[in-house]
Structures are given as structure tokens and as C-alpha cells.
Structure 1
Amino acid sequence: MKVCVYCASSSKVDTKYFEATKKLAKELARQDITIVYGGGSYGLMGCLADTALENGGKVIGILPRFMEKVEWGHKNLTELILVKDMHERKKLLIQDVDAVVALPGGCGTLEELSEVITLKRLGKFTKPIVILNTDNFYYHLRMLLEKMIAERFMRKEHGEIWQFVDNPEEVIPAIENAPHWDADAINFAAV
């Protein structure tokens, strides 16, 4: 199994986010689930990779070349794939994965998450999307998504595109129990 994890590169975030990241990384490694992530060595990205590797996990990083030039790339991954730009990175992050997990993050994480939600709405990505809502970090996003459905910018069925969980231990069960989604979603993508 292979899971894409979106997360922050900031090292200045509260320790609670690092603790949740470590728990998730340990569980993914324990379950022999390969992590595909942005390839960074700092912040939650570095914590995710380091913890998984320390626990025998496999970690594949996808990093744009311009980031490698400023030494943002992790040096000890199972595999580091260098790509041309952010667009290619996002495409490869979700290629052939079995799920996407979003940890707390900044605008890059939000952009990646928004894109994969859009792709799933259109039936171009059909795997589970799990949002780890550590300490209610994603409360406002959850409210916004619910408002989009309530105000009919999205259909009620689109609420099954994602699952919010509060604890790292809930991520794998959420992946395993996610509602079925397929390419036919394009048929009800419009409201």
C-alpha cells in the first residue's frame, strides 16, 4: 500500500503537530505502508520521513529541482524523485497511491488538498482523502466545505469525497472504510 501525505515544512509549529505526525509515521511504517510526500527535510515533512525511516518504513520524496538547489531535500529517503516544477510534483504525489492524507500545513498543503478534492469530484482521482484535524486545526475548512454543500456550490454526495479524523490512530481505519468513489463521479460533478 502507498499513501501520499501532505504536510508542512515549517519547523516553528507547535509540538502537538510534530507528535501527531510521529504517531502517524510510526503507524504507517508498522503497517508496511509506503509514504509518498513532498521530499522536504524540515518541519512536519522532515519529522514524517525521519520517524517512518527510523521505524523501518519506506519513504518516497517528490521534490522540484529548484528546492534541491537550496538544499530543502531530504538526503536519506528510500527514494527521492526530482521533478521540473510544482505541477509535476503534485501530479506524481498522487500517481498510483492508495490514499491521500492531509496533515496540518500552510498554503502549499491547502493548495494540494484543494486540487485533489477537485480531482476526486471530477472522478479523476478516486482514492480516499483523509484530513487529520489535529487539535481542530481544520475546523474552518470543514465548516467551509459544509457551507459549500449547504449553499449548493457542491452536491450533498460530495461530502463523501473526504473524511476528517481527529487522531493519527484513526487515519488507517478511515482509509479502509472510506466510501467507494469512481470515475462516474464526473456525471454528478455539476450541481
Structure 2
Amino acid sequence: MQKIKKVCIYCASSENIDPKYFEATEKLARVLVKNNITVVYGGGSRGLMGRLADTIIAEKGRIVGIMPHFMKEVEFHHKDVNEFIFTADMHERKKQFMVGVDALITLPGGCGTMEELLEAMTLKRLGIFTKPIVILNAFGYYDHLIKMLEFSIEENFMKPIHSDIWKTFEDPEKVLEAIHQSTPWSKDALKYS
């Protein structure tokens, strides 16, 4: 079993969400710190992004923020994050999220979080990105998205093998188990995309 050293987390910047999502984020952050895993994330100081960073910093873990310059200029960046990478734009930011990570983890979020997740799934489908993609379906948040993905397979817009692109889990403390249970993926995936 490969040791997980670095993960990227996609998550929300919204502050107006149910406290249960913040609690799930804290639990996941603590598991990652306990296992000495570096976290790469969007660099924000608000919403789940802020709670993720605050928890990792409080627990003495390592977190890296990646953010376009224009977002720093309006003070969205978390000033206490260990390391920051500032990019020219959102496209470069998404590329940097995937550099050197052992897995991608998606927490509840809005259109930005879902867009990042779906792009990662597309890149995996094409064999460009081959690491585990796990979705924290806390409190059934992603039920409708998962049903839509399954429906796209049923309707032959994707193949049955594409259901192995992602793995869902509901308990934030089971994140490492979800990563390790993910189906290995090949760069040859383009052949059956």
C-alpha cells in the first residue's frame, strides 16, 4: 500500500453553510495531520477552506495554498498558511493543484468546487491524471451529482469502467481508507475513454 504524503483538497469558500460541514472538515483535517500528510488547497481564509487551513495550522500540520494573484489582491488568501503559490490565473491554479499529489479529495462546495472535481475526473478519464479522486459525500451532499454521473453511464455517455474514476465516502475519518480502496488507474485510459 502506497504511503500518502500529499493530497489536494477542493472545498467551499462559502461561510453561510450548515455548521455540520465545518465539523466534517475539521475531522478530515485532523486525520491528515495525524498521518503527516501535506495538504494543498485553494488558499482561502473563508468557509470550509478557512476552517481546513485553521485546523491544520492549529494541529501543527503542513498546508500549501494555491491562488491566482487577483484573489490575493482582494484579500481572500489565508495569511497564516505555511506556503503560498500564486498563479497567473485559475487555469494555472488547477494545474498546480495536481502537481505531486497522491490523491484529490473533494469536500462539499459550490460550482467552483464541482468544476474542479469534474475537470479532474475528465483528466483521469483521459489518462492524464491517474491518482485517486475521492468525494466526501458528507450528509448526502453529493447524492444528486453521483446519481447524475451514474445516469451518464447508464445512458452510454460514459462507460461502466468510468465509475472507477471516483470513490465516495461519508465519514471524514475514513479518508485514507477511501483513498487506498480506490481502483488503480492507467495512463492508457485514453484507449477506453
User: The TM-score by the shorter chain falls in which range?
Assistant: over 0.9
Aligned counterpart, 1:62: 66
By how many angstroms is 1:90 displaced?
Answer: 0.4
Residue 175 (structure 1) aligned with residue 179 (structure 2):
yes
CA distance in 1, matches of 2:106, 2:190: 23
Secondary structure at the aligned position of 1:131 is classed as strand
By how many angstroms is 1:96 displaced?
Answer: 1.1
CA distance in 1, matches of 2:174, 2:156: 29
Aligned counterpart, 1:89: 93
Residue 125 (structure 1) aligned with residue 129 (structure 2):
yes
CA distance in 2, matches of 1:108, 1:95: 19
CA distance in 2, matches of 1:84, 1:177: 35
CA distance in 2, matches of 1:151, 1:94: 30
By how many angstroms is 1:169 displaced?
Answer: 1.4
Residue 35 (structure 1) aligned with residue 39 (structure 2):
yes
By how many angstroms is 1:182 displaced?
Answer: 1.4
Instruction: Spell out, residue by residue over 1:110-166, the C-alpha distance to the aligned partner (whole angstroms, 9 max, x if none).
Output: 100000000000000000000000100001001000001111100000000000111
The AA in structure 2 aligned to 1:179 is T
Residue 12 (structure 1) aligned with residue 16 (structure 2):
yes
Residue 165 (structure 1) aligned with residue 169 (structure 2):
yes
2:114 to 91, 110, 117: 110
Aligned counterpart, 1:147: 151
Residue 76 (structure 1) aligned with residue 80 (structure 2):
yes
CA distance in 2, matches of 1:42, 1:94: 22
Q: How large is the Cα RMSD of the aligned pairs?
A: 0.6
Secondary structure at the aligned position of 1:178 is classed as coil
Secondary structure at the aligned position of 1:4 is classed as strand
By how many angstroms is 1:53 displaced?
Answer: 1.2
The AA in structure 2 aligned to 1:159 is S
CA distance in 1, matches of 2:141, 2:32: 21
Q: What percent of counterpart residues are identical?
A: 54
Aligned counterpart, 2:141: 137
By how many angstroms is 1:56 displaced?
Answer: 1.4
Aligned counterpart, 2:103: 99
Q: Which runs of no fewer than 5 residues in structure 1 stay unpaired?
A: none
CA distance in 1, matches of 2:144, 2:21: 17
Q: What is the TM-score normalised by the length of structure 2?
A: 0.97
The AA in structure 2 aligned to 1:164 is T
Secondary structure at the aligned position of 1:113 is classed as helix
In the alignment of these two chains, the number of paired residues is 189
The AA in structure 1 aligned to 2:70 is F
